[in-house]
Amino acid sequence: MKRPVRKAILPVAGLGTRFLPATKAQPKEMLTIIDKPTIQFAVEEAIEAGITHLIFIIGRTKRSIADHFDSNPELDMLLRSKDKDALADQLNSIVPKDVACIYFRQAEALGLGHAVACAAPVIDEDEPFAVLLADDLMRADVPVLKQMIDIYDNTGRSLVAVEPVDQDKVESYGIVDADLPEVGSWGRLRGVIEKPKPADAPSNQAIVGRYILDGSIMRLLKDQKPGAGGEIQLTDAISKLVAGPGVDAYRFHGRRYDCGSKLGFIECTMASALEHPEYGQPTRALMQSLLAREM
Ligand code: UTP
């Protein structure tokens, strides 16, 4: 009998060099889309998918993440004294009381695979777990992780979320060898290559930041040697799972914003502003007047 997916690892210990100087003293996952840090979108997605243990892998700039998901009694009192109870309640419910937050420190940014392996002490060999990268901000009617857990509940096999990328972008991703003709398809992965040259890429289907992984991957990660870019790559360990218990790839329903890149971050901010119930209309007017000025 397979165990349900209840734990999620959220690695937030990368250096975020593409966003310097903003990320000199804070993790890039604390950068906000309007008024919400990208890590909070990932946490909300995980909670909606039924996750009860959030495991953060934090780096040197650790405090703000732990503070953000902790209670703040002084702020709570102040807001209530100003009749802002709804806002105070909203802040208190970011992480419900029955969801636990666990923090591990990654002393050195040695790669995503190394970051995930930092959580090994709380993952059993036979326990599946999720990984969410807050950089990939997902918008979907059914949260992407929930879509994936529904598939996992039927198959009991590790699962990675993928989407097609332009041929000139394959060098930035883990690229899978799998037949996934349309959105909503999922199927067995024959192989995966981290950051291939376009000529070596088995397809244009790229792994994006949502995974459900077999607990046994922790053992594989322990012995994983550095791969592409000199980093300990999660993809290389996934490739070993392919040869063992097997892995599926899933073309999810929804939209991904690559908030790890500046242009993706700008796109996500603009789309969120346009969809905003209060600021959508004024944002549209602002954009039109800015574009008119360009002409
Ligand atoms: P990235 O490679 O996209 O993030 O890692 P980065 O290295 O922080 O960013 P740049 O390229 O320098 O701008 C993907 C995810 O893995 C985490 C990052 O925080 C990010 O969420 N990560 C990466 C770690 O936690 N530890 C690492 O050693 C590497």
Q: Per-residue pLDDT tens for 160-212?
A: 999 999 999 999 999 999 999 899 999 999 999 999 999 999 999 999 999 99
Could you tell me where the beta strands, DSSP code E, fall in 106-236? 129-132, 136-139, 158-164, 174-177, 186-188, 191-194, 205-213
Which ligand 1 atom is nearest residue 114's CA?
Answer: 28
Residue 277 alpha carbon to ligand 1 centre in Å:
32
Task: Report pLDDT for 63.
Answer: 83
Name the domain count of the chain: 1
The ligand 1 atom at the shortest distance from the C-alpha of residue 27 is: 19
Instruction: Give me ligand 1 centre to Cα 12, in Å.
Output: 7
**Pairing between β-strand 136-139 and β-strand 158-164 as defined by DSSP bridges:** unpaired
115 ligand 1 Cβ < 6 A = yes
Indicate whether 286 belongs to any domain. Answer: no
| 3-class DSSP assignment, residue 57 | strand
- Ligand 1 center to residue 24 CA distance, Å? 14
What's 114's domain CATH number?
3.90.550.10
Q: Which is the closest atom of ligand 1 to the Cα of 134?
A: 21
**90 in any annotated domain:** yes
Residues of the chain falling short of pLDDT 50:
none
Q: Which domain holds residue 129?
A: 7-260
Ligand 1 pocket, residue 117 CB under 6 Å: no
Which atom of ligand 1 is the closest one to the Cα of 232? 28
For residue 227, report the distance from its CA to the centre of ligand 1, in Å. 15
CA 85, 86, 91, 96 torsion-angle sign: positive
Residue 1 lies in a domain: no
C-alpha torsion sign, points 11, 44, 137, 273 = negative
Rounded to the nearest 10 degrees, the angle between the axes of helix 85-92 and helix 73-81 is 160
| Domain presence at residue 277 | no
Per DSSP, the residues of 139-174 read E-SS-HHHHHHHHHHHH-SEEEEEEE--GGGGGGSE
Pairing of strands 7-12, 129-132: parallel
Please calculate the CA angle 71-4-224 and round it to the nearest 5 degrees.
Answer: 85
Q: For residue 276, is it within any domain?
A: no
**Whether residue 114 has its Cβ less than 6 Å from ligand 1:** yes
Domain membership flag for residue 246:
yes
Q: Is position 135 within any domain?
A: yes
Give the position, in ligand 1's atom list, of the atom nearest the Cα of 12: 19
Domain membership of residue 283 (yes or no) is: no
Residue nearest to atom 15 of ligand 1 (CA): 133
pLDDT value at residue 294: 80
Q: Is 227 in the pocket of ligand 1 (CB under 6 A)?
A: no
Q: Whose CA is nearest to atom 1 of ligand 1?
A: 14
